[in-house]
Amino acid sequence: MSFLKYQKNSPDFFNNYLKYKRFIEFYSNTTIDEVYFDLRTFFRYLKLKLYNTKLLENFDINDFKKVNIKDITIKDINNINRNMIIEFTYFLSEKLNNDTVTSNRKLASIKKLFEYLFSNNLIDNNPCINLETGRIEKRLPKYLTLKESKKLLSIAIKSKMKYKIRNYCITCLFLNCGLRLSELTKINLSDIKFDEHTLKIHGKGNKDRILYLDEACSEAISEYIKERPKLDKSYIDYNALFLSSRNKRISTRNVQTIIKDELKMAFNDTKNDIHTHSLRHTTASLMYNINNTDILILKRMLGHSSFSSTEIYTHVSSQKMKEIMNNCTISSILEKKKEELLNERK
């Protein structure tokens, strides 16, 4: 939890807010860390806006990262108006080169902070009311094809890397179970029921779900456990399924590096836009488009709280349908036949 490491460098009201989100609203460590970094950027900007506009005008990213936010007060927050927040969004775009998605996420973090402060009577007004976010062009998720997925698994198991059995197991679970990165690192040995072929997943919002393991996943886990170090219960991470080289629960950064290296071995530099979450998209897209998996089952398997998250895979299918209709409708078939006849007469 990064925000706990930086408590001494943050104002008390900020620390209290983050603890409230983590321990009262039960947001994940990853989410709270993102909120912390988003708001720290905002407070650094605020500090310069209020007390050092010269440094803001002659902006330097290295100087910006050194700005101390410890002395930001509730009085400073109370002086923030709507225009200052809008100016901050321009700052994100012009000075930090943030895209619309990143800027919107930071703006959402600011809105929730002000809601908390206002509802707890710590500020007099909420300048974020009716503040609109930037429009985002809806993009289809990046994912691997079935052939590419098979190639990635093949490369993982055939690699000469020291921990190839562990790494293959990680890749296999990503591609077969559609896990989030944080979910994979949280898996414990006690979550696996080999006799029932099930795996308990600890998802977002402390919501657990049960996944059924296919033969490939069961075998991959079994082979990895054979070579996984046997830790005494005195170890804090003795129950963690995936361990690092130091016998600690594997970190999200470590897993990201593993997948990145495997993708590079399999596809050179042609898949730089694919990452761990893309493998989750791969699972969902292939299940929906090739196996015709019911969207209700897909929603449950992915651990989505609403259909809006799952519906993106129906958009992938719609794209596929568009391609089919452009090439396989009656009119397109007749057009092809006409072209074939003309070619035969030539």
The residues that are catalytic are: 180, 204, 277, 280, 304, 313
Cα torsion 337, 339, 345, 346 to 10°: value is -160
> SS3 for 47?
helix
| Start-end of H helices in the chain | 2-5, 12-19, 29-51, 53-57, 61-64, 74-78, 82-94, 100-119, 146-158, 164-177, 181-186, 215-227, 252-267, 276-289, 295-302, 307-310, 312-328, 330-345
DSSP one-letter code for 260 = H
Q: Are strands 198-202 and 192-193 parallel, antiparallel or unpaired?
A: antiparallel
Task: Please classify residue 200 by burial: count the beta carbons closer than 10 Å to its beta carbon, then call 0-12 exposed, 13-18 middle and 19+ buried.
Answer: middle
Q: Would you tell me how many other CB atoms lie within 10 Å of the CB of residue 30?
A: 16
| Start-end of H helices in 197-311 | 215-227, 252-267, 276-289, 295-302, 307-310
Check: CB of residue 239 under 8 Å from CB of residue 225. Answer: no
Place of tokens 């062009």: 137
Measured between alpha carbons, how far is residue 221 from residues 138, 188, 198, 214 in Å?
Answer: 37, 12, 12, 11
> SS3 for 188?
strand
Supply 122's token pair: 């710590």
